[in-house]
A and B are shown apart, each in its own frame.
Chain A
Amino acid sequence: MTMQPNRAERVSAPTGSVEFDADVLVLGGGPAGTWAAVSAAERGARVVLADKGFCGTSGATAAAGTGVWYVDPNPALRDAAMANREKLGGHLQDRRWMARVLDRTYEQSNRLAEWGYPYPVDDSGKSQRNSLQGPEYMRLMRKRTKQAGVTILDHSPALELLADDEGAVAGASGIRRQKDDRWTVRAKAVVIATGGCAFLSKTLGSNVLTGDGYLMAAEVGAEFSSMEFSNPYAISAAFGSVTKTLFYGWASFTHEDGSIVPGAASKGGRSAIARALLQGPVYARLDKADDAVQRQMRMSQPNFFLPFDRTGIDPFRDRFPVTLRLEGTVRGTGGLRIVDDSCATSVPGLYAAGDAATRELICGGFTGGGSHNAAWAMSSGTWAGQGAADYARQLGAIGRRKPSPAGTIAFRNRPQRAFAPAALAKAIQTEVFPYELNYFREASRLQGALARLDAAWRDVSEADAASSADLLRAREGAAMLATARWMYRSALTRQESRGMHRRDDFPDQDDRQRHYVTTGGLDEVWTSVRPHAEAAYAEAAE
């Protein structure tokens, strides 16, 4: 017998808007959001999922595809998988969380197989489950989300949360950009799964990822963690968007004159590429891949070859110019602070999953390549969906709460000045893209950038409400601006180099700073530090 899903209810609304009553509202329809929606629906919740783009093609995974931290449940293998990245991550991971993510990822990947995901079979007949093709995976997730009874709103970016008198989150509202109207969903719990913030750098699939969920959450008082670990840069052909970096492990990198860039490598030598790019162009050629490897590459990542095939470049023989595109918190590890095993945030009724949440618990201060982000999206999505459904059930049939909109920037009438979103986006990029500011960090440079970003925030705080045509862009700009300020304030607070955060003025890791940096605030950005669990135990034992 199949269970009849509960559906969110469309309620009557004034013209120019649609309204729904739901138990759980999920914002964002990438892997984290779809797993959250399916998991909440499986617990009997009535669920709405709203995506800025199209659930199934939108977000980093759909366009890029991902390796997945899928490890057979063999204790030795699991142990090695956890130990493997601890040094890279600056020993900020938490073993208990790593273990539960490995368990959950294993289970959910196996469900994908049951649902028909076409995993490849190796020569020994074993199904291989540590990689997912983006379009295929997300097409399947859209289908399962619909089958679970979830109401999907496409092209419906959320712009602000609703909160009740006591500050608990009670839904959200946004626009339906292809219908030129507004949507409101009243819900007992909200999952933020809007992905990270890549500052419109055109890294693959990420221009929908502008940190919107962070801004909305900050407006109801949520906190962030590990925002200093937000400066991964990914390699692509200089003209292109395909920032898939695995295959650059087979590349040689050269200067204009053909000489090798010393120390340059995709893994463990990317900073050498950045330094060389500060001097002049850098070229790559995948000349270390033999014929067999070349064939496997083509079968594994067809999108990697699009920029080459379409410009007549043979990447194995010809050298081509490369660049590094900033990915911010998409392959960084910062995000909304998680306070318990259900991925609740510090605000009642608000949950976070995927890149919108911090990945410090399994990645520490480094993700870069590797498969942890995808594993985190699946696992945290599942927990956040379940947690939100349970929270909604506990609230029960509460009487009409008085939800009011929590949005600030771009919603308030301030007659002095108009909102100019395009100029704002450019100004932010000028502060966050340059390698000399963000890749290689140093106190006075960070302070300079931060002062300019703080001034930009004061400017937009005084700006008038954005016109309806500009509202989405204005909110995206404000979200990127807030993200940049949390990022640099946290970067100043961490006076050492650890994980992907490197300070020219503090080149070494400092054992006394094995802690997390928390941040938050909009008009006034603050930071504080929290001990790492193990470091705290060690101190107590002394």
Chain B
Amino acid sequence: MIEVVDAASCTSCDICVNVCPTNVFDKTDGIPVIARQSDCQTCFLCELYCPEDALYVSPFADEAQAIDLIALRKADAMGSYRRAIGWTDDTRERRGDDRSYLLFGH
């Protein structure tokens, strides 16, 4: 489930509020809040659309997890999915990486 909006890097662009399919976030005067965490479906899509890598989705689908933001930043976990699919400037070449055609029919 979504666990954190990193106040240090969030620019209050509200993109996450818009793109979350299950409407988990609410706009505020400042940075968005996680208003309905239990509605989160752990799809990781908000991370992909956050231009600042300010969101972290824990892979635990059914329960909330305590997270350590400093450790996550250190481990380069923030934005790792976005980089893996090639949605940052310096990872663009990964967009065409799909090798499924070698794996199908196994």
Contacts and interface: CB of A to CB of B under 8 A. Distances in A.
Interface in B23-80: 23, 39, 41-45, 48-49, 57-62, 77, 80
Contact of B98 (A58, A63, A120): A120
Interface string B12-23: 000001111111
B59 A118 contact: no
B100 A56 contact: no
Contact of B43 (A63, A121, A133): A63
Interface residues of A, number: 54
A58 B49 CA distance: 13
B84 A120 contact: no
Interface-centre pick from B23, B57, B58, B60 (highest chain A CB count, 10 A): B23
Contact of A177 (B23, B45, B84, B104): B23
Given A120-B98, A135-B85, A296-B103, A59 B21 contact: yes
Interface string B69-106: 00000000100110011010000001111111111101
A120 B45 contact: no
Nearest to B48: A135
B85 A208 contact: no
Given A63-B43, A241-B43, A136 B85 contact: yes
B61 A202 contact: yes
Contacts of A155: 23
Nearest to A178: B23
Contact of B62 (A202, A302, A306, A307): A202
A133 B57 CA distance: 19
B26 to A, nearest CB: 9
Contacts of B62: 202, 239
Contacts of B41: 63, 202, 204-208, 241
Given A136-B85, A307-B59, A207 B44 contact: no
B45 to A, nearest CB: 4
Contacts of B59: 237, 239-242, 306-307, 310-311
A237 B97 CA distance: 25
A178 B35 CA distance: 12
Contact of A122 (B58, B80, B101): B101
Nearest to B83: A302
A14 B53 CA distance: 41
A88 interface: no
A130 B104 CA distance: 9
Interface of B: 17-23, 39, 41-45, 48-49, 57-62, 77, 80-81, 84-85, 87, 94-104, 106
Interface of A: 52-54, 56-59, 62-63, 67, 118-122, 128, 130-131, 133, 135-136, 154-155, 177-178, 202, 204-208, 237, 239-242, 246-247, 249-250, 293, 296-297, 299-303, 305-307, 309-311
14 contacts: A56-B19, A59-B21, A135-B85, A154-B18, A204-B43, A205-B41, A240-B60, A246-B104, A296-B99, A297-B103, A300-B98, A300-B100, A306-B81, A311-B59
